[in-house]
Amino acid sequence: MKHRPSEISRVDTDVLVLGGGLAGYRAAVAAREKGTSVTMAYFARGASPYIIGCNSPIGHADDRDTPKMFFDDMVRGGYGLNDRRLVRVMSTGAVDAQRELSAIGVEFPTENNRITQRHLSGNTYPRSLFIPEGTGKIVLEHLSAHATEIGVQTLAGLKVIDFLNDGGDVVGALLWDRRDAKFLAITARSVVLAMGGIGRIYSDSTYPADIGSDSYALALRHGARLIDMEFVQFEPVVTVWPEACRGMEMPTAMLGDGAHLVNAHGERFMFRYNPGHGEKQIEKAKMALCVQTEIDEGRGLPDDTVIFDTTVLPAARLESYKTHVRRLRNAGVDPLKTPPRVRPASHSQMGGVLIDDTGWTGVPGLFAGGESAGGVHGASRLAGNGCADTLVFGALAGRGAAEGMLTPRSRNWDALIGASLKAVHASGNRTTQMGLPELKQSVRETMLRSAGLWRREESLLAGRKDLREIAHLAEELKTDETEQSIEACELGHMLTTAQIIVEAALMRTESRGAHQRRDYPKQDDTHWLKHIGFRTDGKNGFMREDIPIQ
Ligand SMILES: Cc1cc2nc3c(=O)[nH]c(=O)nc-3n(C[C@H](O)[C@H](O)[C@H](O)COP(=O)(O)OP(=O)(O)OC[C@H]3O[C@@H](n4cnc5c(N)ncnc54)[C@H](O)[C@@H]3O)c2cc1C
């Protein structure tokens, strides 16, 4: 069914924030505090409610911790690839973030009048803030209540389909409301992109279903540059069985408490990789590589998993992991008697939209923050830095958007909306054997086979070829209904993002952080201490561009 631009409802705002996770809310509050009108639009709550730990070098747990120490940890943990301008912003901004949250009523647990902080992997000192009832969930609740209080308009349950673009200026977005099958156009003087990471483009993933890698594909199409996309972080021990808990990360802290990782031969294999320490004192990213090696070399169970042996833990200790124990029992498995089975799953994206230290993407009117933006984490993200990133760069992008609004002028809105609708109305004319769900699933399987934890040239080249074939089938797909066309756009965004990850992984002929090549096992600073960037070629494709580290 065709939709006419003139019949589409319009909302006008100064700043439009796309995304309702922590970065989106923090951006909206920051922009509103600058006195602008702010509208937020998003589908659901993204990955943010699942956050457990959030880094802030306030030095309460150990007074040797400082923003400078945090800076050094980030650059070391990111294998030197981090954008130093952004690391500087993050190292001090994460301290401000704790103060800002406390000021709006977020209560962090304390001991002797000092905020309790946990020690997460890759951090020199314990600097992770946490709230036992769920850090991400509670912080989101406070930020959303505060946003409402100060007059941010919120539109939930909407899917962003495209940006409105006037001669290179991003001036709003076109959204779809599945509930009443209607489009909505939001016009704005600046837009903050905070739509999260890559979503489920790998067949094993911890991402919630509302993240669809749209942010990267849309930003690219509208003129922004993407960097460091080859660096995809995998969580090491994600539940595969019991099926009802699939995608649930088992806490690595439980391994620290004494749970074992065991292969199909009954061996505690981590001692082979990490002599003397086994499952303890090892970065999550390295542990993920070890688990994957066991599986790849045939020592996993028939369903390509290893055993996360919870049964060896003292009962009281195990019961303290309330959420995990409850979820396993609800799935019919008592972890005191039967262990779950796990393998690594894709978890977060280090790269993203290139921004400067005001959150600007270089495209007039377009700012980005949180997981949509890239550069601060380099080749690997410290545990607890996903959350700090959302708060610091959400605020930065919100302020940047309020200060960098485009000058108002008359625009032909119907024409701009019409241009965005074209993508939705475009349809092939063949019914292929594979429908949209199957094509999406083949992208996911291709990505896991070709650009998973361990990569090599042959698998990446095969992945490139398979993705091209899927893209060809997707172009031909006949879509009669608007809902199907929207799904097809989403598939297109997945394909663009997947193709960029594969291209970047092929080009980077070295191993660094989250990018590990079997055929190039060494880090090569002489040739690769730089970002691999991509920008649009103006014809629905993309081209490579090396970007020096700032
Ligand atoms: C299970 C899990 C646990 C994690 N635990 C931690 C942790 O303990 N500590 C840590 O530091 N990091 C953690 N991370 C990483 C962290 O959650 C993310 O980096 C962070 O939440 C990203 O926040 P964001 O606001 O940028 O995006 P998100 O919170 O993912 O929000 C994205 C928003 O954009 C919306 N959106 C996306 N596409 C569209 C579209 N097309 N139209 C409309 N809306 C759209 C979504 O609905 C959502 O509102 C975890 C991640 C996962 C998946």
How would you write 258-302 as a 3-class SS string? CCEEECCCCCCCHHHHCCCCCCCCCCHHHHHHHHHHHHHCCCCCC
CA of 351 to the centre of ligand 1 (A): 14
Distance 64 CA to ligand 1 centre (A): 31
Minimum CA distance residue for ligand 1 atom 53: 207
CA distance 368 to 394: 8
pLDDT at 75 exceeding the cut of 70: yes
349 pairs with which residues across the strands?
Answer: 232
Ligand 1 centroid – CA 195 distance (Å): 8
Could you identify the residue written with the tokens 């409802």? 9
Distance 138 CA to ligand 1 centre (A): 15
Asked if pLDDT for residue 425 goes beyond 90, the answer is: no
User: Closest Cα to atom 50, ligand 1: which residue?
Assistant: 51
Ligand 1 pocket residue status of 390, Cβ below 6 Å: yes
Question: pLDDT-derived band of residue 40, with 50, 70 and 90 as boundaries?
Answer: very high
Q: Which atom of ligand 1 is nearest to the CA of 389?
A: 19
Counting residues of the chain whose pLDDT is more than 90, the rounded percentage is 85
- 193 alpha carbon – ligand 1 mean position (Å): 12
Q: Mean pLDDT throughout 364-370?
A: 98
- Among residues 360, 380, 373, which one has the least CA distance to residue 82? 380
| Centre of ligand 1 from the C-alpha of residue 302, in Å | 32
Q: Which residue has the tokens 């209560």?
A: 107
Q: Given this model, what pLDDT does residue 476 score?
A: 82
**Interval 141-163: pLDDT, tens:** 999 999 999 999 999 999 999 99
pLDDT tens digits, 271-311: 999 999 999 888 888 899 999 999 999 999 999 999 999 99
Answer for the pair 211, 195: CB distance below 8 angstroms, yes or no: yes
- Please tell me if the CB atom of residue 387 comes closer than 6 angstroms to any atom of ligand 1: yes
Task: Give residue 340's pLDDT.
Answer: 98
The predicted structure's pLDDT at residue 428: 64
Please state the atom number of ligand 1 nearest to the C-alpha of residue 50: 3
Structure tokens at 545: 């561009």
From the CB of 234, is ligand 1 less than 6 Å away? no
Predicted confidence (pLDDT) at residue 431 exceeds the cutoff of 80: no
Q: What's the gap in Å between 198 CA and the centre of ligand 1?
A: 10
Q: Whose CA is nearest to atom 41 of ligand 1?
A: 160
- Report whether pLDDT(450) > 70: yes
Report how far residue 150's alpha carbon sits from residue 11's, in angstroms, rounded to the nearest whole number: 19
pLDDT (average), residues 257-275: 95
Q: Which of 371, 424, 487, 490 to mutate to test the pocket of ligand 1 (most atoms within 8 A of CB)?
A: 371
Question: Of 392, 420, 398, which Cα lies nearest the Cα of 27?
Answer: 398
Give the pLDDT confidence score for residue 429 in this predicted structure: 61
pLDDT averaged over every residue in the chain: 94
- Predicted model pTM: 0.95
Q: Whose CA is nearest to atom 6 of ligand 1?
A: 51
Exposed e or buried b per residue across 197-219, where buried means at least 16 C-beta atoms within 10 angstroms of its C-beta? bbbbbbbbbbbbebbbbbbbbbb
More confident residue, 330 or 254: 330
**Is the pLDDT assigned to residue 433 strictly greater than 80?**
no
Ligand 1 near 169 CB (within 6 A): no
Measuring from atom 21 of ligand 1, which residue has the nearest CA? 48
Instruction: Give the model's pLDDT for residue 146.
Output: 98
Asked if the model's pLDDT at residue 174 lies above 70, the reply is yes
Looking at residue 177, what is its pLDDT? 95
How high is the pLDDT of residue 6? 86
Give the tens place of pLDDT for each residue, 87-133: 999 999 999 999 999 999 999 999 999 999 988 878 899 999 999 88
pLDDT at site 303? 96
CA of 312 to the centre of ligand 1 (A): 33
Q: How far is the CA of 23 from the centre of ligand 1 (A)?
A: 8
Tell whether ligand 1 has an atom less than 6 A from the beta carbon of residue 172. no
Signed CA dihedral, 482, 485, 491, 495: sign only:
negative
